[in-house]
Amino acid sequence: MAGTTDVDAKFMQLAIKEARNSKEWLPCGTVIVQFDKIIAKTFNNQQATSDPSGHAEINALRLAGKVTGSKSLDGSTVYSTCEPCAMCLSALMYAKIARLVYGATLKEVVPKEKYIPLSAEEFLKLSPRKFELEKNFMQKECMALYTSK
């Protein structure tokens, strides 16, 4: 895995800023960067849109597809304040991202009865497509989103 950089910190700060726009009980923010250019930044909005798939990562993938005109995000890095769920991990895999950087783990922030206990690491072991994983990046800053509510 490549080491983290100041660039990673800059993009994760943007994801944290996006998460603060969310009105959900678990505010999440996501930024997608392709070839050093931000192609999507958004937050989760399931309640506001009455859409159970309105997770930050899914919203960002939808926006990135419109921006790039492609469903394939080869060479992209996804920054997310929280570890993506199984649905989002699957979508990221199908989008062919190169790298995922996330802050807080689902296990830390979601009640046990509300999620499928499948970590990003476990998902990658089973996945036919692989991507680089940087977990617990800026964890303290990301956890502050979930402990301040």
Q: Is 57 a catalytic residue?
A: yes
Alpha helices in 20-138 (DSSP H): 46-49, 56-68, 86-94, 106-109, 120-126
Alpha carbon separation from 92 to 33, 35, 40, 50, 102 (Å, rounded): 13, 17, 13, 22, 13
Q: H-helix or E-strand containing 42? A: strand 37-43
Q: Which of 57, 113, 132, 134 is catalytic?
A: 57
Q: Which residues contact 53 (CB under 8 A, 6 or more apart)?
A: 46, 87
Q: Which two tokens stand for residue 129?
A: 């497509």
Which residues are annotated as catalytic? 57
